[in-house]
Chain A
Amino acid sequence: DTAVSQTPKYLVTQMGNDKSIKCEQNLGHDTMYWYKQDSKKFLKIMFSYNNKELIINETVPNRFSPKSPDKAHLNLHINSLELGDSAVYFCASSQVPAGQGYEQYFGPGTRLTVT
């Protein structure tokens, strides 16, 4: 009964390859997020979708493309991988009551290593 799940947990690939990370939540939330956590542990928002609609798009290279087939799934596709893309990528989900913040539930993370 995992709330937010991601696959794969580890991903090792070479520069120039294309890879995808998948995320699913069974909490019934409307909003999902992708975060990047670098080696210094900074948690940086990349994208957010609300009911399949892109609502947050931070300054991220266009090699990164999120896709939300339905509100329970948010995938991240990365083209032409670079060494600097090595990081842990976390998916998260939350409800978004109007005008106020709310807890975000994080997935277990995907450790991406680009060689």
Chain B
Amino acid sequence: GENVEQHPSTLSVQEGDSAVIKCTYSDSASNYFPWYKQELGKRPQLIIDIRSNVGEKKDQRIAVTLNKTAKHFSLHITETQPEDSAVYFCAASWGNFNKFYFGSGTKLNVKP
């Protein structure tokens, strides 16, 4: 089955700096890569996703890049704000009943 690895496990940045979280996957059949944000005590919520026919997608301060050859994808957050502090999860799916293989999560701390 698919194996998704996520790094780093924790990331601390100063407000205004950029943050990058990286994930690798093992199954070349994976074609959908969502990123979820989970605030403390809350549900995971989708913040951005990318499909395998696209190399990059941007939504305001967040962007995701995908390298299918290397089987890795990354989340980029620019101009970080304290409200960006949360746990971020990457996932990979290939349409097998939309089964998500989640990474282990990255706890992002944005210091004011």
Contact = CB atoms under 8 A, between A and B. Distances in A.
A4 to B, nearest CB: 8
A106 B43 contact: yes
Interface string B47-58: 001010000000
A101 B43 contact: no
A104 B100 contact: yes
A43 B44 contact: yes
Contact of B98 (A40, A42, A44, A101): A101
A40 B107 CA distance: 11
Contacts of A97: 95
A40 B6 CA distance: 14
Given A100-B32, A103-B34, A106-B44, A48 B99 contact: yes
B14 to A, nearest CB: 24
A45 interface: yes
Interface string A36-56: 000011111100101000011
Interface of B: 30-34, 38, 42-46, 49, 51, 87, 89, 92-95, 97-100, 102, 104-105, 107
